[in-house]
Amino acid sequence: MPVLDFRHVTIEIETPQGLVKAVDRMSLTINEGEIRGLVGESGSGKSLIAKAIVGLSKENWRITADRMRLGDIDLLALKPKERRKVIAEQIAMIFQELYLP
């Protein structure tokens, strides 16, 4: 069983000019013992994906997915407060900069 399984994740951002699709149907599966890296050009959505995984999305983001599982926990079935608690207990993110975004 994967420890992290995100399928067809789309991140859209509401801007004054309208809705911008920043990430389109990205999938990521990580099995126990695996190490994965997010690689891409500047502005390709790597940080958005990482923030969506750890629950640091902003209010103007719309995140949709077919599946978002952490082990055997279906994150999409949880209420936002429960989801934040589960993620905070099981996932950590180390930022490149010394301040939180």
Query: What confidence tens digit (pLDDT) does each residue in 61-91 have?
Result: 999 999 999 999 999 999 989 998 999 999 8
Task: Note whether residue 98 is domain-resident.
Answer: no
Task: Note whether residue 97 is domain-resident.
Answer: no
pTM, two decimal places: 0.83
Range of the structural domain that residue 21 is part of: 4-90
Task: Note whether residue 14 is domain-resident.
Answer: yes
* Encoded tokens for 96: 């490149």
Task: Note whether residue 63 is domain-resident.
Answer: yes
Length of the chain: 101
- 3 state SS of 74: strand
With beta carbons less than 8 A apart as the criterion, state whether 45 and 11 touch: yes
Task: Note whether residue 96 is domain-resident.
Answer: no
Task: Note whether residue 99 is domain-resident.
Answer: no
pLDDT band of residue 1 (cuts 50, 70, 90) is: confident
Domain count, the chain: 1
pLDDT at 96 over 80: no
CA 90 to CA 21: how far, in whole Å? 28
Query: What confidence tens digit (pLDDT) does each residue in 35-62 have?
Result: 988 899 999 999 999 999 888 889 999 9
